[in-house]
Amino acid sequence: MTTKLKLPYIKGVTFGFMTPSGAYGSKASKDSLKKLAEHTGADTVILALAALQKTAHSEHVDYTGVHMPTDEEVIEMIHLARSLGLKVILKPMVNCEDGTWRAHINFFDKEVPCEPKWPRWFESYTDFQLHYAKIAQDMKCEMLIVGCEMVQTQRKSKEWRELIKKVRQVYNGLISYNTDKYQEETVDWWDAVDVISSSGYYPIDAFDHELKRIYEVIKPYNKPFFFAEAGCMSSTGSSFVPNNWELSGTVNLEEQKAYYEEMFKCCSQYEWVRGFGIWDWSTHLYAEDMACQDDKYGIYGKPACKVVKDFYNSVKEL
């Protein structure tokens, strides 16, 4: 597949998800970003900023509380990333305070008195996105991802198109939307974005099948594609259900390593896959000698980290 836009290969790692106010400005956070640049071979950092709404049916998105880095901290982190030679993708996300996954944010399509409504939620969510679109514009971020895994909202095509239209009025860089795994075909407004992206948490033995399916979905849009999220926990069994962050298993660094090897092997056979946003790299890292005890997605100090670095260093632009 050839596209009108030639997207440089994204050698990305996601950084700082759910980092609260004050943490970005810490020495530990800055040291962590420096280690990301040093250890992964990445040329891009995706700054994941997690706003909150109380439940999946709340109309207000709060991006001003202590759960968020301040604007000054975000700007400072972008400056640091630039000094390290990293491109920056800004990714304003939303979580539910009660723990419900954001994919379940949903409202009645037919409005009912005294019930929460789509228009008010989209008004609040759009305000949230525009706030960071302005920062992305001022800081010349290479891309803005305007949503992540908002599965139940994706059917609201008109509203998403209007949101993206408003974002373009303040931000002139590349715009993407990150749908969830298996959901690529449920977005019928891919033509509104510049870059199609999804979360690539596919089982280790299913990548080839899923890539062929995704290709058929995105081909008519003639847009670049990358996995804005991808990864696997260093836990036994995670390579077959890499999306399950609640999986309980023994620490298994070799299984995580094998997952990355297979993912890169499969994806590198398809030139239309234009990169990754590895999930994830914490602002406050565990000690490197404690990596053998960590069963989560982090790759710092683990064999998977070398796999990522070797692969990113091997990528040559066509």
**Residue-wise pLDDT tens digits, 242-281:** 999 999 889 999 999 999 999 999 999 999 999 999 999 9
The predicted pLDDT at position 2 comes to 63
| Domain 10-314 classification at class level | alpha beta
Which pLDDT score, from 0 to 100, does residue 88 have? 98
Residue 1 confidence class, pLDDT cut points 50, 70, 90: low
Residues 61 and 29: beta-carbon distance below 8 Å: no
Domain ranges of the chain: 10-314
Question: Rounded to an integer, what distance in angstroms lies between the CA atom of residue 94 and that of residue 101?
Answer: 9
The rounded percent of the chain whose pLDDT value lies above 90 is: 94
Burial 219-229 (b: 16+ CB within 10 A, else e): eebebbbbbbb
Report the C-alpha gap between 134 and 128 in whole angstroms: 10
> What are the CA-CA distances from residue 313 to residues 46, 104, 184 (Å)?
18, 38, 29
Q: How confident is the model at residue 318 (pLDDT cuts 50, 70, 90)?
A: very low
d(CA 176, CA 282): 23
Taking every pair of Cα atoms in the chain, the longest distance, rounded to a whole number of angstroms, is 58
Please compute the mean of the pLDDT values over residues 158-164 and round it to a whole number. Answer: 98
Chain mean pLDDT for the chain: 96
232-267 residues labelled b (16+ CB within 10 A) or e (exposed): bbbbbebbbbbbeeeeeeebbbebbbbbbbbbbebb
Tokens of 278: 């590895």
Q: What is the pLDDT of residues 98-136, one digit of tens each?
A: 999 999 999 999 988 888 999 999 999 999 999 999 999
